[in-house]
Amino acid sequence: MNIWGNFVGQLTDTVAGKGKILPAILLIPLLLLHSCKSEEIPPLKEYWFMEIQSGNGERILPGESINVVLEVKRFFSTMEGVRVDFEILSGGGSVSDTAPLTDASGKVMITWMPGNGSSSCMLKASVYAKSGECLVSSELTATCFINDSWIKVTSGPDKYVSDVATDTVAGVTYMIAGEYRVFRQGKKFFEWELVDDPLLRTWAHAIEADNKGVIYVVTYQIAKDDWKLVRSSDHGKTWKLCTSPYNVHSSDTRICLANDNTVWACMYGQPVKFSSDEGVTWNTAGSTLSASGFAKSFRLSDGSLLFFDGDNLNKSADNGLTWTLVNTPGDIINLYLDENDEIIIASLGQGFTIYKSEDKGNTFKIMTTVFPKGVSVFDNFIYKWNGYYFIVVPEYCVMGTYNFRGFDYIVNENMYSCFMDHNGILIAKGKDFNSVYYYKKSK
């Protein structure tokens, strides 16, 4: 029985005035649902659909495979016995079947094994007519996180990363991303899970973790001008409110953690304060110390304190009661103290220059200078992993060194800022504020 011929005949009769148009229209749904003998209906391209049910946009490690499931439909009916051709467009690798047939539910299932030499992988699935015309096709992408390369990601909550903190005691990394929410790193370094605690459902502004694994999150509710400091002392299991360091709430309030686990707070027009009991009580850090925005604090082995207020380096020998200015090179923008009490500073006086003091700030020596196209404001500066220092130079590179004399350069001019997780993975925020880069060093 030639269904297509009968349908055309009825339409012809209708146009000629031999019948009513209603019967012809009512035949269309019957024709659309006809799938018993698909070869009897012309393969009209616009009536074929392919739905990707799994296997698209995956993130994988080298050597991992992807399960791909596609469903083929014509009109609204699933199609059995239709051949789907698979073609690898980029990234190399293989598929378990290059031309499988759809099953009774209209689906094909294959295994895609991307190659290990590229981060960007693409697979194309197509259905062709006997004439060779492509009736429908879909492209699947995957990101393979190969070592020693910046891997760019433009999907998922992490593409909006704004801050990262590492709990090195529990071996967990946290990120502020998405719509300014807190996420916990999953089993793989590029997987993130929302931390959905009631205290963390407002805008998260900053996150820090001390060397005991206590995590601090600054939240701010714009509509209520409501600033809060939230703390977890059990590695993210429960969260509690800290006491506010100031009676006036403002989004200008910033915190930083010293290497002795002291919490420091600063706010424009207010004195700098610090807490030695995880934000329960606060003390004023002397009448002469002030800072707004970015700040850094470190305690030297002799008990004296260093405080960088965003412009100048200050030093206190009496636990923050009085402060003196440290004579440093001009235009310093960041501070770091290593385990040997060596002070490292970054300056924009002549390019991006790294200075080091081996005598607790009495003198400074130039270690290296680089010339980035521009430098954004940043509070993360130096990370250490397995005895190796990573120095962040925004909008240019991450410099690596063992001794601040010889340097390696991991160039990425598209990064706005850069962080490090608890396993030494670099996580960089893109300059477009819509992407994130990952870098895993192989050795």
Taking the C-alpha atoms of residue 4 and residue 178, their distance in angstroms, rounded to an integer, is: 52
**Do residue 289 and residue 412 come from a single domain?**
yes
What are 361-400's pLDDT values in tens digits?
999 999 999 998 877 666 789 999 999 999 999 999 999 9
pLDDT of residue 252: 80
Instruction: Read off the pTM.
Output: 0.87
Do 256 and 130 share a structural domain? no
pLDDT of residue 376: 66
Q: List b or e across 66-82, with b for residues whose CB sees 16 or more CB atoms inside 10 angstroms.
A: bebebbbbbbeebbbeb
Tell me the pairing of strands 58-60 and 134-144: parallel
Q: Does residue 61 form part of some domain?
A: yes
Map residue 266 onto helix, strand or coil: strand
Q: Give the residues of the chain that fall short of pLDDT 70.
A: 1-46, 376-378
Do residues 136 and 116 make contact, with C-beta atoms less than 8 angstroms apart?
Answer: no
Whether residue 290 sits in one domain with residue 167: yes
Tell me whether residue 363 is in a domain: yes
Would 41 be classed as within a structural domain? no
What pLDDT is recorded for position 2? 43
| CB of 34 closer than 8 Å to CB of 44 | no
Identify the burial level of 47 via C-beta atoms within 10 angstroms of its C-beta, where 0-12 means exposed, 13-18 middle and 19 or more buried. Answer: middle
Q: Let me know whether 19 and 71 are in one domain.
A: no
For residue 372, give the CATH number of its domain: 2.130.10.10
Edge-first strand order for the sheet with 85-90 is: 58-60, 134-144, 120-128, 85-90
Domain containing 109 equals: 46-144
**Domain boundary residue, one of 144, 165, 195:** 144
* Same structural domain, 129 and 160: no
Task: Name the domain count of the chain.
Answer: 3
Cα Rg, the chain, nearest whole Å: 30
Q: Phi first, then psi: what are they for 47, rounded to 5°?
A: -100, 5
CA–CA–CA angle 351, 353, 359 (5° rounding): 155
Q: Are residues 165 and 273 in the same domain?
A: yes
Establish if 361 belongs to a structural domain: yes
**Last residue of one domain, picked from the residues 144, 159, 194:** 144
